[in-house]
Amino acid sequence: MKRPLSILALTGTLALGAFAGFQVNDRFSEASTVTAAVPQGQMIPAVAQATPTAPATYDNGRARTESEANTVNVVKARQNGLVYISVTESADTSPQAQLRQQFQQQLPFGFATPDNSQPQTGTGSGFFVNAQGDIITNNHVVEGASEITIRLHGNKATYKAKVIARAPDFDLALIRAEGVPASAIQPIPLGDSDNLDVGLKAIAMGAPFNLDFSVSEGIISSLERTVPVGTKEVYQSVIQTDAAINPGNSGGPLLNSSGQVIGVNTQILTGGAGQSAGVGFAIPVNTVKKILPQLQAGKGGVIQTPTLGIQFTDLSGLTSDQRSQAKLPASGALIQSVAPNSPAAAAGLKGGSNRALNLDPSGQAGAQATVSTDGDIVTAIDGQAITAGDDLRRAIIGKQIGDTVKLTVVRGGQTRTVNVDLKAFTFPSAAQQ
Residues acting as catalytic residues: 140, 171, 250
* Cβ within 8 Å of residue 324, ≥6 positions away: none
Query: In this structure, what are the phi and psi dihedrals at residue 395, rounded to the nearest 5 degrees?
Result: -65, -40
Query: What pairs with residue 220 in β-bridges?
Result: 241
Q: Whole-angstrom Cα distance, residue 126 to residue 109?
A: 27
3-state class percentages of the chain: helix first, strand second, coil last, to nearest 5? 20, 30, 50
Inter-residue contact 57 to 65 (CB < 8 Å): no
From residue 159, how far is each of 145, 172, 176, 179, 301 by CA, in Å? Answer: 15, 21, 10, 7, 21
From residue 149, how far is each of 7, 161, 297, 411 by CA, in Å? Answer: 25, 5, 22, 55
Query: In this structure, what are the phi and psi dihedrals at residue 316, rounded to the nearest 5 degrees?
Result: -70, -15
Q: Is 210 left (phi over 0), alpha (psi -120 to 50) or beta?
A: left
Q: Whole-angstrom Cα distance, residue 414 to residue 401?
A: 29
Q: Whole-angstrom Cα distance, residue 145 to residue 122?
A: 9
CA angle 65, 43, 126 (to 5 degrees): 100
SS3 210: helix
